[in-house]
Amino acid sequence: MSQAEYRTTTRFIEVAHAILEEQQPATIRQLHYQLVGLDEKTKREIGGFSNTQQDYRRVSRLVTKARKDGRIPWEWIVDRSRPNYEWQAWDNLAEYLQSTKDGYRKNYWADQNVYIEIWNEKDATTGSLYELLAEFGVVMRVGRGFQSSTRVREIGELFNRIAKPRIVVFYLGDFDSSGMDIERDLRARVEEHTFRTFEVRRVAIFADDIKKFNLPPQRVVRRPARRLIPQGARQTVRGARRVAAGRAAASRSQCGGVAD
C-alpha cells in the first residue's frame, strides 16, 4: 500500500469516526449517505466519494477494519436487516418481577386527544430518529418501499380500535416519483381497511431540503437490454453462471466479505 493510500484510508476512518460519534448507533448505509453529503474538500481528503455500490462496499470494508483494530467501537454500527427472534425467560419469579418494574413506562399519550405515528420509507434513517421517538414514545413504521398487504391491513385495524378523535401520520420519504407514489399508495390502501379518517403530513423530503442540506441524488444504474439466448445454449450459460458465482463467493471469503 502506498503512503498516499494510507493517508486517505486513515483520514477516511477519522471522518467516519466523527460522524458516528454524533450519530450512533448507525447502519453502514446510513453512514454511507452521510459521507456522500460531505463537502468536496473532505471528499478529496478521503480519496473521493460518491453514491455508488463501489463506495458503499468501501465504507463496509474500512469501517470493519477500524472496528477490528479498535478505532471505531463495535456498538456504533448496527445491522437492522437481519432480525433476531428471541423469547423472554427468567430464572425465577423475583427476576421476572424486577424486569417488570424496570420495564414500566407511563403512556404520556393516554390523555391526548390525538394519536400520532411515523411512516418512514427508509430504514437507513432509523438511527437518526430512534432517540427522539423513544423519548416521546411515538410509533414508527418502516416500509422499505411499498408496504405489504398484511401490514396495510394491520394498520387499518389498529386505526379502527383507536378511540381518539384524531389520527395524524407524519410521513418521511424520498423526493422522487417513486417516493411520492409509495406515500399515495400506502394511504389509499390503509383507507380500504379502516372506517376512520386520518391525516398524512409529509415532513421530509421536500425540494428545499435537497438544496438546504445538499442531499445527494439516487444514482440510477442503467442495465443493458436483455439478450435472447437460444434454447440449446441456456444450459451452458447456467453452468457458466454457477461457476462464476462459486468463484466470486470464494473470493469474498478470502477477502473477509462485506459486513454491515
pTM > 0.75: no
Does residue 225 surpass a pLDDT of 60? Answer: no
Phi, psi of 19 (to 5 degrees): -65, -45
- 106-213 to CATH, choices 3.30.70, 1.10.1200, 2.60.40, 3.40.50: 3.40.50
pLDDT at 226: 46
Among residues 87, 173, 148, 159, the alpha carbon closest in space to that of 116 is found at 159
- pLDDT higher for 225 or 157? 157
- The residues that bridge with 116 in the sheet, in sequence order, are 168
Confidence of residue 213 (pLDDT cuts 50, 70, 90): confident
Q: What percent of the chain has pLDDT over 70?
A: 81
The whole-number average pLDDT for the span 191-214 is 89
Grid coordinates belonging to 101: 418494574
Q: At what angle do helices 28-36 and 53-68 cross, to 10 degrees?
A: 120
Q: How far apart are CA 119 and CA 97, in angstroms?
A: 34
Give the phi and the psi of residue 90 in degrees, each rounded to 5: -130, 150
Q: Are 56 and 19 a contacting pair, CB within 8 Å? A: no
127-140: pLDDT as tens digits: 778 888 888 999 99
Query: Taking the alpha carbons of 134, 116, 142, 214 in that order, is the dihedral positive or negative?
Result: negative
Length of the chain: 260
The sign of the torsion formed by the CA atoms of 41, 45, 50, 51 equals negative
pLDDT at 92: 93
